[in-house]
Amino acid sequence: SSGWRGPGVEDRGPGSPEGRANERSLVVRLTTPHGRIIIPGDIEERGTRALLDGGADLRAEILVLPHHGKLQALHRELLEAVRPRIVLVSAPDGYASREVLDHARSIADVYQTGLGGWIEVGLAPGGFHIRRGNDGRARASLAPDLPQ
């Protein structure tokens, strides 16, 4: 565990204390009054196994797919543990695994940056608001017209 804490922030620790840098990615679950999002960084097999075996509650309405949606043997277990309604994939078209994407689409709405550009998620009473764009500008925060 990195010891990083804050209101609504749960440190799920590095996926794995050993292995490549990706495996040691910080994993956090953010909790708001309107929903939860889990961001597992760039963890791969070892980090995902450590996360799943850690015993923490991983349920969240939104999951950012780890390692840009590349195929790993544990993707089904992770999706089952999180049970997301929305899955975000930061990857160009053709980079994420078709198998992983198809499985994610069978249980959640999937948004991929490589297919529609940037993605903004607003959490508000009654649900989520998704905005997408492909105007070449990176988005660092929610647009002013989205509930904050």
What distance in Å separates the CA atoms of residue 31 and residue 17, rounded to the nearest whole number? 24
**Residue 88: phi, psi to the nearest 5?**
-105, 140
The residue ranking higher by pLDDT, 108 or 34, is 108
| pTM for the structure as a whole | 0.79
pLDDT confidence of residue 4: 44
> Predicted confidence band at 73 (pLDDT cuts at 50, 70, 90)?
confident
> Predicted confidence band at 42 (pLDDT cuts at 50, 70, 90)?
confident
* Over residues 63-68, mean pLDDT: 88
pLDDT confidence of residue 94: 85
Strands (DSSP E) found in the chain: 9-14, 26-32, 35-39, 62-64, 86-89, 109-112, 118-124, 127-133
